[in-house]
Homo-oligomer: A and B are copies of this chain.
Amino acid sequence: MGTIPTQEKPLRRANSSFHATLKDVAKLAGVSTKTVSRVVNHQDEIRKATRERVQAAIEQLGYRPNVLARSLIHQRSNTLAVVAWGIDYFGPSRTVVGIEQQAHELGYSLFLSLMDQPDGGDSEKILDTLITHRVDGIIWAVPEVGDNRSWLKSNPLDRLPPIVFLSMEARPGLAVVAVDNCCGAKQATQHLIDQGRRKIGIITGPLTWWEARERYTGWQAALHQAGLPTSSSLVFEGEWTAASGEQGMRILLNQEPDIDAVFASSDQIALGALGTAHRLGRRVPQDLAIVGYDNIPESACFWPPLTTVYQQLTDVGRVAVQTLHKMIEANRQLKTLEEATVTMITPELIVRESSLRS
């Protein structure tokens, strides 16, 4: 039916990706744009004949709807954003995978925004960009370090889209999903106590990190409960790295030569600690037990295989998106979500050779 429109707009660029519109399809099929829209969205009843004609036109032109236009009308972009730091490390990357999967399953597309530093300096700019893109919600996957949440005070929350925070101290009014680091560390330490260890050191992560502090607290709690010492000569504040584990182990062994176990706050730290132990001639686990944290895939093949704490980080990501989704839906219906918006996930101890008194 198309009224010979072939030459009306002569140049549709060959190479560049040209996009057919509803109008193009409508003209080709000899119907109105609204009808094409109906076909595309499977709305209403359409006569079989016209539907087929429209579908043929869609096919022929390679038509794909433009969600930007759609979002404009619906005031909803079907888009979420992750703001993250450190996705080149094990934990954050796992979390992001969980976020992406769950977002995908719920029909959202996902923006990825990385911070340069965990100090939170870029926060406002990043938020601005995301708001500008009209994301329906945000997952704040930057670990809490120092006061890198200070932007929260200066930004009126009601001008921001719903946000779910990961790995941070629970705060009233904020939705948080986190692993119970304290519990994980307590489990690890308790396990060492159960194995008969009595002088148990710790190499912490940087204590500006909330997670590092929580793990430190868990270690303390377990020892207190067992009436064992937690003196400062048993504590070394490190980075998360293996190098720092090497150094920490050296210092601890120097300060407390008869230490018989060490809780390393990350598997990398544990790896470094293992190295120093070997070099200094301490047998692991006979003389010295070592437990790590994270369960990175390599830890099963350390020498000896490492006992460690496994956090279901993919689940953290998934739960975060589920929570966010609920918040978005509630918001849309002008309800305030009144359920608990703080979810704590309990980690699990993986026992391997490095801590066993065989």
Give the B-binding residues of A (Cβ under 8 A).
13-17, 19, 62, 64-69, 71-72, 77, 82, 87-90, 93-94, 96-97, 100-101, 104, 109-114, 116, 128-129, 131-134, 156, 158-162, 241-243, 245-246, 268, 271-272, 274-275, 278, 297-298, 300-303, 331-332, 334, 336
Q: Is the CB–CB distance between B110 and A109 below 8 Å?
A: no
Q: Is the CB–CB distance between B88 and A88 below 8 Å?
A: no
Q: Is the CB–CB distance between A15 and B334 below 8 Å?
A: yes
Q: Is the CB–CB distance between B110 and A268 below 8 Å?
A: no
Q: Which of B65, B114, B159 interacts with A97 by CB under 8 Å? A: B114
A71: chain B residues within 8 A (beta carbon): 68
Contact (A133, B109) CB under 8 Å given A17-B159, A64-B128, A88-B90: yes
CA gap between A134 and B112 in the complex, in Å = 17
Interchain Cβ contacts under 8 Å between A and B, 17 examples: A14-B158, A16-B158, A16-B334, A17-B159, A17-B160, A19-B131, A62-B156, A64-B132, A82-B112, A87-B87, A96-B112, A97-B114, A109-B111, A109-B129, A111-B112, A242-B300, A268-B301
Distance to closest chain B CB from A272 (angstroms): 5
Q: Is the CB–CB distance between B15 and A298 below 8 Å?
A: no
Q: Is the CB–CB distance between A133 and B68 below 8 Å?
A: yes
Highest count of chain B CB atoms <10 Å: which of A156, A243, A275? A275
A67: chain B residues within 8 A (beta carbon): 132-134
Distance to closest chain B CB from A9 (angstroms): 14
CA gap between A87 and B278 in the complex, in Å = 33
A17: chain B residues within 8 A (beta carbon): 131, 158-162, 331
Distance to closest chain B CB from A105 (angstroms): 11
A278: chain B residues within 8 A (beta carbon): 303
